[in-house]
Amino acid sequence: MSDHNHEHGEACGCGHDHDHDHEHEEFVLTLTDEQGNDVEMVLVETFDVGEKVYALLLERNNPEADGIILRMEEENEEMVLYNIEDENEWRQVEEAYKELVSQQED
C-alpha cells in the first residue's frame, strides 16, 4: 500500500521517508509567551487540513501542558509558523485534529 505519499517539495530532496527517518531528531523552536518568556516547543506532528498544513507543538519542559496548533507555510524555502486567527479556520483545524487523535487511539 503505497498510495499515501506526502509531498515534501523540491527543497527537501533528501529522498528519505521523513516519518521514520528522523525520530531521534527533535524539531525544537522557541516561542515567546504573553509574559515575554521564551518557551521551547517541540514539533510533535503535522497534519493537513484541505490545502494547508498545520503543526502541533508541545512545551518541551512541560509535555502535560496543552499543545498549540499553528499553520505552517513555506516562504523562500523556509518553514514559517503562523497563529490561526480565523474562527472558521480554527474550527476546521480542531475537527481535523480530533479526527487524527481518535484514529491514533484505535
Query: Each residue of 54-99: pLDDT tens digit?
Result: 999 999 988 788 889 999 999 999 888 999 999 999 999 999 999 9
d(CA 44, CA 46): 7
Q: What's the predicted TM-score (pTM) here? A: 0.67
**Average pLDDT along the chain:** 80
In order of 29, 63, 64, 83, the CA distances from 80 in angstroms are 11, 23, 25, 10
Q: Has residue 15 got a pLDDT over 70? A: no
Give the pLDDT of residue 63.
Answer: 74
Q: Has residue 4 got a pLDDT over 90? A: no
Copy the grid coordinates of residue 64: 502535560
Give the pLDDT of residue 18.
Answer: 46
How much is the average pLDDT of 30-54?
Answer: 92
Residue 15, sorted as left (phi over 0), alpha (psi -120 to 50) or beta, turns out to be: left
How much is the average pLDDT of 24-52?
Answer: 88
